[in-house]
Amino acid sequence: MVRILLFAGLAQQAGTQDISINVNTPISIIEMKKKLQEKFGHLNGLDNCLTAINEEYANESSMVKAGDTLAFIPPVSGG
């Protein structure tokens, strides 16, 4: 399982912040985005958010594997 974390507007649209998705072999973040869209329908902002694997920024072609935590990070607005 890959643990998926959603934040801010993404979590609000999906109605959840923390889900698990089963993967048999490592898949790219692009592919994981497609799985999320299948599960939740279109999520506004999913295409231009940042991502992090295990709390480190990653890019769309980075691979996630079972046991990883993948976070989708909308444009940040702290401060």
- The site for other proteins (CB under 8 A) is made up of 5, 7-9, 12, 45, 48-52, 55-60, 71, 73-79
Q: Please report how close the Cβ of residue 77 comes to other proteins at its closest, in angstroms.
A: 4
> Residue type at 65?
K
Q: Which is nearer to other proteins, 41 or 78 (CB)?
A: 78
Distance of CA 8 to the CA centre of its chain: 12
Q: Please report how close the Cβ of residue 24 comes to other proteins at its closest, in angstroms.
A: 25
Q: Which is nearer to other proteins, 57 or 66 (CB)?
A: 57
How far is residue 74's CA from residue 50's CA, in Å, rounded to a whole number?
A: 6
Q: Please report how close the Cβ of residue 28 comes to other proteins at its closest, in angstroms.
A: 11
Q: What is the DSSP letter of 77?
A: -
How far is residue 45's CA from residue 29's CA, in Å, rounded to a whole number?
A: 15
The residue to which tokens 């399982």 are assigned = 1
